[in-house]
Amino acid sequence: MPMSILRIGLIQEDLPRNDEEASTILGRIEGAFNWHFIFNADTRNTRNLDSFGEYRRRRCKKEVIEAMADDIITPIPGFHQVAYVTNDFDRALKVFADVHRAKKFMELRDMRYPTGPGRVAHCNIGLAYVGATELELIQPLGEDVRIYRDYLPQEFAIRFHHLSRFLKTRQDYDEQFAIFEKMGKEFPVIGEFAGRASYFYADFRAELGHYIECITFTAEGWEWVKEIPRN
């Protein structure tokens, strides 16, 4: 798995005041996130990292830290995937390479998968990770694919379709299904694929403008996910 490197600028007038204080801060972060840190003691100018911690002030005080999170396993429970539909798979892959820098995809062409009792979707599917987020590209080809085709015009297009939420256990999956069922949601897609995954789509178009997919993987499915290219 590729190593992820996170640079953190410590931003505050007087935090930390010395290397001992900085080491203490890092020790706490290591314990919380199981990350490992290396000081770059000679680096003085850094960017703020908006998405981590409260280290945002007016000027940089201390070192850049490289957090080498080489043991992070994806997918991470929670929303993990952004899914799009298209009517031209190859052309869309080129757009994703340019826009998302996703040049390597797992291409599952002419794929068929269950969408409900007696129903199957026939699609081209592309999967790729960019960082910790998975991208899915779906081109509907035939059979039970109205849920995808309804998003697409006649001319070439790529349209956002759904977010996917990864649930770590089957119990979590069943509980989430029950929550959405209690909310009165419809489930246009419910299926299990090749002993690897169980999934459903819940219709949140009225509230959010898109579907929400929920998915959980078997042990075999986890091994399959590891084969999805990282960009």
Mean pLDDT, rounded, for 163-185: 97
Mean pLDDT, rounded, for 149-156: 97
Of the candidates 206, 133, 198, 194, the one whose C-alpha atom is nearest the C-alpha of residue 163 is 133
Percent of the chain with pLDDT over 90: 66
Q: 134 or 9: whose pLDDT is higher?
A: 134
Whether the predicted pLDDT of 96 surpasses 90 = yes
Q: 198 or 14: whose pLDDT is higher?
A: 198
Model pLDDT, residue 13: 42
CA gap 140, 88 in Å, rounded: 9
Strands of the sheet with 60-68, listed across from one edge: 5-11, 60-68, 37-40
Domain ranges of the chain: 5-68, 78-225
Q: What is the DSSP secondary structure assignment for residue 153, as one 8-state letter?
A: -
Of the candidates 73, 81, 77, 69, the one whose C-alpha atom is nearest the C-alpha of residue 32 is 69
Q: 44 or 137: whose pLDDT is higher?
A: 137
Span 159-168, pLDDT tens digits: 999 999 999 9
Pairing of strands 133-143, 158-166: unpaired
Percent of the chain with pLDDT over 70: 68
Specify the CATH class of 78-225 in words: alpha beta
Model pLDDT, residue 169: 96
The answer to whether the CB of 57 falls within 8 A of the CB of 50 is: no
Model pLDDT, residue 7: 44
Model pLDDT, residue 77: 87
Whether the predicted pLDDT of 64 surpasses 60 = no
Whether the predicted pLDDT of 174 surpasses 60 = yes
CA gap 228, 230 in Å, rounded: 7
Banded model confidence at residue 17, pLDDT cuts 50, 70, 90: low
Mean pLDDT, rounded, for 130-159: 97
CA gap 42, 51 in Å, rounded: 24
Q: 35 or 68: whose pLDDT is higher?
A: 35
Whether the predicted pLDDT of 34 surpasses 60 = no
Look-up of token digits 């419809």: 186
If 0-12 CB within 10 Å is exposed, 13-18 middle and 19+ buried, where does residue 114 land? middle
